[in-house]
């Protein structure tokens, strides 16, 4: 067995140096690992291809919060999905678009194009949907005008809006308004899904399917109410007298509402219900009035409750059936006129019916229906019964774009022939009668009852005086009214 030699000082020193060098090597590797980790983690500035102007410095948003260790283990990397290359991946050039910016808006649009280009160049989750970005920018621009009725609608929303105005849509069967930023139910369509579920007039919708409506525009608040037929939507509402919000599930159904209907009662009174002045309105109006004439009705209840309006010419055509030639339908204030009110006359489209007339209105009576009610009230042609109207006295110009989207821009305000303002004021009826409490249409209608009672009195008075009802009157004399407005001949289409 060989003997063990004692270690020399030289060999011992060399071993110690080797041991210390190994430790230093490990420590240096650990430090380099931390440095590399921090470079990948984002505390150092990102190196990108984007051009960042000096006035818009990049700000790191993914730094480690104060108080947290920088050695927190990195989570496992998420695989990057494979995306199909698109013309905008790599980012598109906006040079041509920037060159077409009007000189007067160049400074403001420089910021817009810069912001758009930064998103195009740097956004992580590719690919970007530029069409969605453009629609979002357009909606934001129109909403920022500060007018609830000036809106940009994407193609599907625009089509849904068109269908609803023509009385055919899938929904829950309610009339709505936005007041103080809240979505309110102004009334419920009798026998509709909402009525069956127990939704009531006056309910304030707080959320839809659990998503809050706070801070949204009217269009964005109303959109989630729509959906596929037979699907269920849950409205969370605040109701007067209830301590806690109520969740009301409603099954969406296809709802078809005719623009004009006529019900001739046994006592000879006709109830002419008009729900909107839409594409089908004129033909339905002609048919209903011919039926009223054939059945020799003695008086008419013109029911404009929950009529949200529609085409202005529809109101003028209706007024042309009850007011003489050249009567004023309204006064119009367009922006370029500098506040001068332009007279707008009724449209002649048939005989003028000299019948006792009562008009029913409520908080859902708006826009073109308020034009109708206001003119009939100003000329003392009809008695208004019900509750105060909505107060929408503005006109929108609708532009349809090639992709199916559309814009609606407020271009004018309306006044009644006696220069009463409609916008935000509404019309106060001659006889205030509250609405029926049962919104499902099963209880007596006190407003309709008051209207028919008054009509019977008017009919009796007309018969005593010898005036014949249902006889067209002459169009040769313009109905007299003191408006202080310019002569209608000055009006230019």
Q: Which residue among 333, 378, 394, 445 is the active-site one?
A: 378
Q: Residue 364 and residue 254: Cα distance in Å, rounded?
A: 21
Q: Which residue among 392, 406, 407, 469 is the active-site one?
A: 392
Sheet of 383-386: strands edge to edge? 260-264, 269-274, 299-303, 357-361, 383-386, 431-432
Give the C-alpha distances (Å, rounded to integers) separating 149 from 219, 302, 339, 370.
9, 27, 20, 16
378, 324 contact by CB (below 8 A): no
Give the C-alpha distances (Å, rounded to integers) separating 363 from 187, 194, 230.
8, 18, 29
Q: Encode 118-144: b = buried (16+ Cβ within 10 Å), e = exposed.
A: bebeeeeeeebeeeeeebeebbeebbe
Q: What is the dihedral of CA 441, 444, 446, 449, to 10 degrees?
A: 110
Examine the residue annotation and report whether 327 is marked as an active-site residue of this protein. no
Tokens of 324: 């003489």
Q: Residue 449 and residue 435: Cα distance in Å, rounded?
A: 11
Token look-up 């150092």 returns: 44
Q: Which residue among 187, 367, 369, 469 is the active-site one?
A: 367
Task: Give the other-Cβ count within 10 Å of 213's Cβ.
Answer: 22
For the chain, the 3-state helix, strand and coil shares in percent, each to the nearest 5, are 30, 20, 45
Going by their DSSP bridges, the two strands 204-208 and 383-386 should be labelled as: unpaired
Angle at 113 between CA 107 and CA 114, to 5 degrees: 90
Examine the residue annotation and report whether 5 is marked as an active-site residue of this protein. no
Examine the residue annotation and report whether 369 is marked as an active-site residue of this protein. no
- Smallest CA-to-CA distance from 252 within 206, 185, 193, 303 is with 193
Token look-up 């009463």 returns: 420
Tokens of 203: 């309910």
Catalytic site residues? Answer: 367, 378, 392
């Amino acid at each position: 067995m060989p003997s063990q030699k004692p270690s020399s000082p030289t060999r011992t020193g060399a071993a110690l140096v080797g041991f210390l060098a190994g430790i230093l090597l490990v420590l240096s590797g650990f430090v380099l690992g931390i440095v590399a980790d921090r470079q990948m983690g984002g505390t150092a500035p990102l190196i990108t291809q984007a051009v960042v102007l000096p006035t818009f410095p990049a700000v790191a948003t993914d730094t480690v919060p104060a108080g947290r260790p920088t050695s927190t283990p990195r989570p496992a990397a998420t695989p990057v999905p494979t995306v199909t290359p698109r013309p905008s991946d790599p980012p598109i050039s906006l040079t041509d678009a920037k060159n077409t910016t009007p000189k007067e808006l160049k400074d403001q649009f420089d910021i817009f194009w810069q912001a758009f280009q930064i998103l195009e160049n740097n956004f992580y989750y590719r690919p970007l949907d530029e069409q969605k970005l453009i629609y979002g920018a357009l909606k934001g621009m129109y909403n920022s005008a500060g007018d609830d009725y000036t809106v940009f609608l994407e193609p599907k929303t625009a089509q849904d809006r068109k269908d609803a105005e023509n009385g055919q849509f899938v929904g829950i069967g309610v009339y709505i308004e936005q007041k103080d930023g809240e979505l309110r139910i102004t009334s419920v369509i009798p026998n509709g899904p909402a009525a069956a579920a127990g939704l009531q007039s006056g309910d304030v919708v707080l959320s839809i399917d659990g998503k809050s409506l706070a801070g949204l525009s009217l269009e964005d608040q109303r959109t989630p109410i729509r959906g596929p037929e037979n699907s269920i939507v849950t409205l969370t509402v605040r109701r007067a007298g209830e301590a806690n919000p109520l969740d009301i599930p409603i099954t969406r159904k296809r709802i078809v509402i005719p623009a004009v209907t006529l019900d001739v009662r046994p006592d000879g009174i006709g109830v002419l219900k008009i729900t909107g002045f839409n594409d089908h309105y004129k033909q339905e109006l002609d048919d209903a009035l011919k039926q009223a004439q054939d059945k020799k009705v003695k008086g008419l209840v013109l029911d404009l409750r929950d009529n949200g309006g529609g085409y202005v010419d529809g109101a003028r055509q209706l007024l042309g059936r009850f007011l003489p030639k050249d009567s004023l339908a309204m006064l119009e204030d367009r922006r370029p006129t500098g506040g001068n009110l332009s007279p707008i006359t009724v449209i002649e489209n048939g005989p003028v019916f000299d019948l006792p007339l009562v008009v029913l209105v409520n908080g859902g009576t708006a826009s073109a229906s308020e034009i109708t009610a206001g003119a009939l009230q100003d000329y003392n042609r009809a008695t208004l019964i019900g509750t105060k109207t909505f107060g929408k006295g503005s006109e929108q110009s609708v532009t349809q774009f090639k992709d199916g989207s559309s814009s609606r821009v407020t271009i004018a305000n309306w006044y009644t022939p006696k220069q009463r303002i409609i916008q935000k004021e509404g019309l106060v009826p001659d006889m205030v009668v509250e609405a029926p409490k049962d919104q499902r249409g099963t209880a007596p209608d006190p407003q309709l009852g008051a209207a028919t009672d008054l009509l019977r009195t008017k009919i009796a008075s007309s018969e005593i005086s010898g005036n014949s009802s249902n006889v067209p009157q002459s169009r040769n004399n313009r109905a007299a009214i003191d408006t202080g407005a310019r002569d209608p001949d000055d009006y230019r289409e």
